């Protein structure tokens, strides 16, 4: 019998209470808005809501951002053990993502963050809130103005198992060990991806090519924003390229497109995606997440793209689609995007801005040579059928299976 089984047998043999977060909370409140221009190199540690999506995992002990607390209106603080939820997002699947703060500084919570104070094991709560069952409960967010929102009442209604603290602690030890093993593999993969990025920038340096033509992207592509629809239109109809498809993949194939949306013949005509089209992310919380691109390498018939991206449709045959998968990931292009995007409450990019970028266009032969080399390197770093990515994927599935299994208990009845 394992130590966890012994503890369950000793402390909760008849089952475990399932409670709403509202019952667990000793306090729950929303943060206060912290604008990008208020972020400083030093000062009071703080978290802005987008960082919960992009930076923090199940738990964190240090903030990546700081601010001058005196510039924040009605500052709201969080401390060791508090759980942070993000209540604004771009997809139902991601809404109400949460993380546990296990550091020891007093920090500021930004706008669209909900802070949960409690007397449980913070890592246990964070693991429990990441389970398949908890994510299903979180996904009841409402779509308003093209963005998904949750709320304090919705978060209070999430139900999770709450075993005794000793059981919580033992589960955390087991899941932390899983996470540590995956982190080691991920660190190795990160080193390989860094090496790949260095090769990419060397191979696509305009000074390497024999006689490249400097050409503005507006001469090579027509740019158009994508389809914006209400939540009720999704789940059936026409294949649909999501924002996350573009953000996470440098190339797209037919099998990558799993989402569906109802659209009119007119929308399909204007927003169709075909082989060679390059899609760029056009809005996000940070400049670093804007302007990432993915190129469609298949003709899949009817297919449209989402409103948070820009489609660049080729006007010429001077660029190989496969070359486009790489040439918009260079440091030079990324620096152009981050320095030219606009800011209001979010970072945003326009087709007109992308159109002004001057790209060195080498011969088709030279483009193909670059593609042949980078395809091999990319496969080593990103293939989900071999090497480290495949091992990490398998480890992640194993972790998720055991996490859900460990966090499913016989429910205590009255």
For residue 140, being part of any structural domain is answered with yes
Indicate the length of the chain as a whole number. 414
| Average pLDDT estimate for 191-215 | 90
Are residues 137 and 23 located together in one domain of the fold? Answer: yes
Please count the structural domains in the chain: 3
Residue 197 lies in a domain: no
Is the confidence at residue 354, as pLDDT, over 70? yes
Do 72 and 138 fall into the same domain? yes
Q: Do residues 227 and 184 both lie within one domain?
A: no
Residues 328-345: pLDDT tens digits?
Answer: 999 999 999 999 988 877
Q: Are residues 356 and 224 in the same domain?
A: yes
The pLDDT tens digits of the residues spanning 238-262 come to 999 999 999 999 999 999 999 999 9
**pLDDT over 80 (residue 145):** no
- 42 lies in the same domain as 101: yes
Asked whether residue 317 falls in the same domain as residue 186, the answer is no
**Residue 40, H or E segment:** strand 39-40
| Position 354 in a domain | yes
Average of per-residue pLDDT across 262-267: 94
Give the model confidence (pLDDT) of 14-53 as tens digits.
999 999 999 999 999 999 999 989 999 999 999 999 999 8
Q: Has residue 149 been placed in a domain?
A: yes
Q: How far from 43 is each of 37, 57, 61, 100, CA to CA, in Å?
A: 14, 23, 16, 21
The answer to whether residues 398 and 286 belong to one domain is no
| Residue 392 confidence (pLDDT) | 82
Residues 79 and 135 in one domain: yes
Both 50 and 137 in one domain: the answer is yes
In a shared domain, residues 274 and 357: yes
Residue 94: pLDDT band (50, 70, 90) is confident
Say how far apart CA 113 and CA 187 lie, in whole Å.
Answer: 29
285-331 pLDDT, tens digit each: 888 889 999 999 999 889 999 999 999 999 999 999 999 999 999 99
Is residue 106 in some structural domain?
A: yes
Round to whole Å and give the CA distance between 176 and 186: 15
What distance in Å separates the CA atoms of residue 231 and residue 261, rounded to the nearest whole number? 9
* 249 within some domain: yes
CATH number at residue 100: 3.90.220.20
Q: Is residue 206 part of a domain?
A: no
User: Do 217 and 357 lie in a common domain?
Assistant: yes
Q: In what order do the strands lie in the sheet with 113-117?
A: 27-30, 113-117, 83-86, 98-101, 59-60
State yes or no: pLDDT of 120 exceeds 70.
yes
In DSSP terms, which residues pair with 20 in a beta bridge?
159
Q: Is residue 208 part of a domain?
A: no
Rounded CA-CA distance 305/281 in Å is 11
Predicted pLDDT at 141 = 57
Where does the pLDDT of residue 386 fall: very low under 50, low under 70, confident under 90, or very high at 90 and above?
low
pLDDT score recorded for residue 139: 77
Q: How far is CA 229 from CA 174, 303, 311, 349, in A?
A: 43, 15, 17, 20
Please give the helix or strand (H or E) that residue 278 lies within, else none. strand 278-281
Distance between CA atoms of residues 54 and 61, nearest Å: 16
Can you tell me the distance from the alpha carbon of 76 to that of 380, in angstroms, rounded to the nearest whole number?
Answer: 45
**Which backbone phi and psi does 294 adopt, to 5 degrees?**
-145, 140
Q: Please report, rounded to a whole number, the percentage of residues in the chain having pLDDT higher than 70.
A: 96
| Same domain, residue pair 327 and 357 | yes
* H runs (alpha helix) in 235-350: 243-248, 265-271, 321-327, 331-340
3 state DSSP class of 263? coil
Radius of gyration of the chain (CA): 24
Q: Say if residue 92's pLDDT is above 80.
A: no
Which range of residues forms the domain containing residue 11? Answer: 1-16+164-190+365-414
């Amino acid at each position: 019998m394992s130590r966890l089984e012994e503890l369950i047998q000793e402390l909760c043999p008849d089952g475990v209470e399932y409670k709403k977060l509202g019952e667990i909370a000793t306090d729950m409140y929303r943060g206060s808005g912290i604008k990008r221009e208020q972020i400083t190199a030093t000062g009071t540690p703080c978290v802005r809501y987008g960082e919960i999506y992009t930076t923090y995992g199940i738990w964190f002990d240090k903030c990546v951002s700081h601010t001058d607390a005196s510039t924040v209106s009605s500052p709201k603080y969080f401390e060791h053990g508090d759980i942070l939820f993000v209540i604004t997002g771009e997809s139902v699947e991601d809404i109400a993502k949460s993380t546990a703060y296990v550091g020891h500084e007093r920090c500021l919570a930004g706008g669209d963050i909900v802070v949960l104070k409690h007397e449980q094991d913070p890592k246990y709560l964070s693991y429990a809130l990441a389970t398949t069952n908890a994510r299903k409960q979180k996904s009841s967010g409402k779509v308003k103005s093209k963005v998904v929102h949750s709320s304090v009442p919705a978060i209070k209604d999430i139900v999770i198992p709450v075993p005794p603290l000793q059981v919580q602690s033992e589960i955390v030890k087991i899941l932390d060990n899983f996470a540590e093993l995956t982190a080691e593999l991920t660190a190795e993969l990160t080193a390989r991806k860094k090496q790949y990025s260095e090769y990419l920038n060397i191979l696509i340096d305009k000074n390497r090519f024999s006689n490249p033509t400097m050409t503005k992207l507006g001469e090579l592509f027509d740019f158009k924003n994508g389809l914006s629809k209400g939540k009720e239109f999704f789940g059936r109809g026409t294949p649909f390229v999501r924002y996350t498809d573009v953000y996470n993949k440098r190339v797209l194939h037919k099998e990558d497109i799993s989402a569906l949306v109802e659209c009119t013949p007119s929308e399909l005509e204007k927003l169709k995606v075909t082989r060679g089209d390059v899609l760029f992310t056009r809005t996000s919380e940070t400049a670093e997440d804007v302007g990432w691109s993915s190129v469609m390498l298949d003709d899949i018939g009817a297919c449209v793209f989402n409103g948070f991206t820009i489609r660049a449709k080729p006007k010429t045959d001077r660029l190989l689609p496969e070359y486009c998968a790489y040439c918009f990931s260079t440091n030079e292009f990324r620096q152009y995007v981050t320095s030219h995007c606009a800011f209001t409450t979010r970072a945003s990019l326009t087709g007109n801005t992308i159109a002004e970028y001057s790209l060195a266009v080498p011969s088709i032969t030279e483009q193909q040579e670059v593609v042949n080399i980078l395809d091999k390197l990319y496969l080593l770093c990103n293939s989900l059928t071999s090497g480290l990515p495949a091992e990490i994927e398998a480890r992640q599935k194993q972790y998720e299976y055991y996490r859900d299994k460990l966090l499913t208990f016989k429910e205590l009845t009255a």
